[in-house]
Amino acid sequence: MFQFNDLFQWDRFITPTIIKTFYWLVIALVILSGISGIFGGLLQMAVSPFAGFIMVLMAIAGVVAGIVFSRIIAELVLIIFRINEHLGAIREQGRSEAQPRF
């Protein structure tokens, strides 16, 4: 879990613990913008039914795409940090094997 003193030490990354919070904030923004787009499309239907319908469909597609892409970006960030942890473990394992044994 993330603790305040982790901000001042470089032994541990804090990004993997807070990326989930940013992910949910992005999801909330995507959903809010999708709702705004749907309402805009419904208002546009009063002027042009076909254009309003297309706007509603585009808003729904935008919400789905936004959720999928934000998940992909969050997972990529987490994978990069996990690769870094695994490389550090491999490096430490190589150092312990390279030391002479008596």
pLDDT in tens, the chain (102 residues): 556 666 666 666 777 778 989 999 999 999 999 999 999 999 999 999 999 999 999 999 999 999 999 999 999 999 998 898 888 888 888 877 766 655
Evaluate whether residue 25 is within a structural domain.
yes
Structure tokens at 63: 């919400």
Evaluate whether residue 53 is within a structural domain.
yes
Secondary structure letter of residue 46 according to DSSP: T
Evaluate whether residue 21 is within a structural domain.
yes
Q: Which residues contact 72 (CB under 8 A, 6 or more apart)?
A: none
- CA 7 to mean position of chain CA atoms: 21
| Domain residue limits at 79 | 17-95
Evaluate whether residue 49 is within a structural domain.
yes
What pTM does this model have? 0.73
* Domain count of the fold of the chain: 1
